[in-house]
A and B are shown apart, each in its own frame.
Chain A
């Protein structure tokens, strides 16, 4: 620090003011005498320097504002920074004495806290009462009611979430049962009622409460119904409501009987063919054209009545268990509808022959002699017809009949298969299978662990070893510029906060300081600005910061000479 004495001042001012040094010394001595002679309570104002005042026996100096600002040039314009916001003060910050603070504090305290204030007390009491009123209602009630309310909620939640699939899966087969059982049950009940002859069975709305054993039993009964005895009873009573079921049952029995009959006819024809000569081929040619009209012709030409043979045929008709010696009948007879029982077969074979008789047997005397008309005479007529058939049924005709019978057999087999299927279907056997299938389908549904399923489904998802591809963080484009106190100074940033460590009048000193700081690794920069009073000043700034707080924090790490002798400001390049 250089000490400037009165001699230097006189010399400098004399040069500056072009005044003699002695005059300068006189002025200085005069100023000192005035200040020293200052009385108590008086002051002297020296232009450009300040005010001298004597108080309490001590000389006080109040610098001139301009001079003070110029001396504080580096830090001029800086304002206090609020580092931590207070929770509110009862008095304005600063500018108050302790008494004023106490007064303000007391007043504010009384205003805010005093219970004597009716409004505030009322509000406070109202809030207090409200709070007290809420507490038991809310907290206590919750503490009591939450537990019982939560449990059912939890139950409800558990019931709706997890067991739902259970219930739904359990319900589905039950619904299937309830949906399917009535169908099978209705059919079973219908057939039972048909068997038992109870026409009102369908009208009864008996609920479905039968056990599977009962259904099986009924199915077995249905299986027992099919045999001829019960079918006979059924046909006699005509209890079938459904004609299809009836027809199917009839067909099932008819085709079984027809098949055996046709086989017998084929055997018979082969026997006749082996015995008789082959000269009767003409008859075969004539008969091949048309079967029905030519049969009477054959009968007329060869009225040889092997009357003994048709009788066994008739007997065969009467007996469901056919004998192998039965005489083959015509194809017409084969395709005619037959009943399951012997009587039905008897009727079936009888009626078509009565219808064909007037056409075929009118020219035949045998027919006339055989009797006509009444149904009681059907048996002898048949016998007569068989007698006429036998002569017409020569070997060729028998062969033709055998051929026809083979075709018929094929058709019969097809019809038999169809009939058996239809019979089984309508008799309820298939329904029973369906019920079994439903039972089978129910079992896996029951066997399925409904709960584990979703768990199993979920666990692999949770335990999936393959981790989900983590969202790759999109690389945010880092700015080329980064704030900081070290590094290279970026002049492209036009505005930032910096730490001003020096403000000097010469550029050379500022430049040297900047280079020194840069050598230490700091981001230093120097710039100039003109002040209205101080003229051109060169400043050295360290760092580039986004805000003032960052600059202040960074200033703490500055070296000792600059740590406590800096100021921050906004720098605009």
Chain B
């Protein structure tokens, strides 16, 4: 097994767990979690009001040991 296959398999695992709403913690690296950003309005200087759609993003919290 090469490193690429390992990293790819690790990425899929993290994705599935995040989509399932779980938190993935790797010791010595940090914790991956899913954060939901709700829809929000943005008022631009010209008066235009934009409505941004909600968004799910990956939140990474590095482990204290890595810092």
* Chain A residues engaging chain B, CB cutoff 8 angstroms: 1-6, 9, 12-13, 16-17, 19, 23-24, 27-29, 31-33, 35-36, 46-50, 57-59, 61, 63-64, 67-68, 70-75, 78-91, 93-94, 101, 505, 534, 552, 564-567
A319 to B43 CA separation, bound complex (whole angstroms): 129
Chain A residue with minimal CB distance to B14? Answer: A49
Q: Are B54 and A564 within 8 A (Cβ)?
A: yes
Q: Say yes or no: A75-B56 contact (C-beta < 8 A), given A48-B10, A82-B50, A83-B50.
A: yes
* Chain B residues engaging chain A, CB cutoff 8 angstroms: 1, 3-15, 17-30, 33-34, 36, 38-39, 41-42, 44-58, 60, 62-63, 65-67
Q: Say yes or no: A86-B6 contact (C-beta < 8 A), given A4-B25, A71-B18.
A: no
Interfacial chain B residues near A28, Cβ < 8 Å: 10, 26-29
Q: Are A75 and B54 within 8 A (Cβ)?
A: yes
Q: A17-B6, A73-B56 are in contact. List 10 more A-B contacts (CB 8 A).
A: A13-B9, A13-B13, A29-B28, A61-B60, A61-B62, A67-B15, A74-B56, A75-B56, A94-B44, A564-B39
Q: Are A67 and B54 within 8 A (Cβ)?
A: no
Q: Are B24 and A4 within 8 A (Cβ)?
A: yes
Partner of A71, one of B19, B22, B28, B53: B19
Interfacial chain A residues near B28, Cβ < 8 Å: 28-29, 32-33, 36
Interfacial chain A residues near B39, Cβ < 8 Å: 564, 566-567
Interface SS of chain B: mixed
B51 → chain A, closest Cβ, in Å?
4
Q: Are A68 and B13 within 8 A (Cβ)?
A: no
A370 to B63 CA separation, bound complex (whole angstroms): 181
Q: Say yes or no: A89-B46 contact (C-beta < 8 A), given A2-B22, A4-B24, A17-B1.
A: yes
Interfacial chain A residues near B42, Cβ < 8 Å: 80
Q: Are B10 and A86 within 8 A (Cβ)?
A: no
Q: Say yes or no: A566-B54 contact (C-beta < 8 A), given A17-B6, A47-B8, A84-B49.
A: yes
Q: Are A48 and B12 within 8 A (Cβ)?
A: yes
B5 → chain A, closest Cβ, in Å?
7
Q: Are A84 and B48 within 8 A (Cβ)?
A: yes
Q: Are B48 and A17 within 8 A (Cβ)?
A: no
Q: Say yes or no: A552-B51 contact (C-beta < 8 A), given A49-B10, A71-B56.
A: yes
A61 to B66 CA separation, bound complex (whole angstroms): 13
Interfacial chain B residues near A46, Cβ < 8 Å: 7, 10-11
A68 to B36 CA separation, bound complex (whole angstroms): 12
Interfacial chain B residues near A16, Cβ < 8 Å: 9, 13
Q: Are B29 and A9 within 8 A (Cβ)?
A: no
B30 → chain A, closest Cβ, in Å?
7
Q: Say yes or no: A567-B38 contact (C-beta < 8 A), given A36-B66, A48-B10, A89-B46.
A: no
Q: Are B44 and A89 within 8 A (Cβ)?
A: yes
Chain A residue with minimal CB distance to B18? Answer: A71
Interfacial chain A residues near B34, Cβ < 8 Å: 71
Chain B residue with minimal CB distance to A537? Answer: B19
Q: Are B48 and A72 within 8 A (Cβ)?
A: no
A72 to B52 CA separation, bound complex (whole angstroms): 14
Q: Most chain-A CB neighbours within 10 Å: which of B1, B25, B36, B48?
A: B48
Q: Are B18 and A87 within 8 A (Cβ)?
A: no
A101 to B49 CA separation, bound complex (whole angstroms): 17
Chain B residue with minimal CB distance to A6? Answer: B27
Please name 18 pairs of A and B residues whose Cβ atoms are closer than 8 Å in the assembled complex, sorted by A.
A1-B22, A2-B22, A2-B23, A5-B25, A49-B14, A58-B62, A61-B30, A61-B58, A63-B60, A72-B55, A73-B56, A80-B52, A84-B47, A86-B46, A90-B46, A552-B51, A567-B53, A567-B54
A48 to B8 CA separation, bound complex (whole angstroms): 5
Q: Are B29 and A35 within 8 A (Cβ)?
A: yes
A32 to B30 CA separation, bound complex (whole angstroms): 8
A5 to B30 CA separation, bound complex (whole angstroms): 11
A9 to B10 CA separation, bound complex (whole angstroms): 8
Q: Are A59 and B48 within 8 A (Cβ)?
A: no
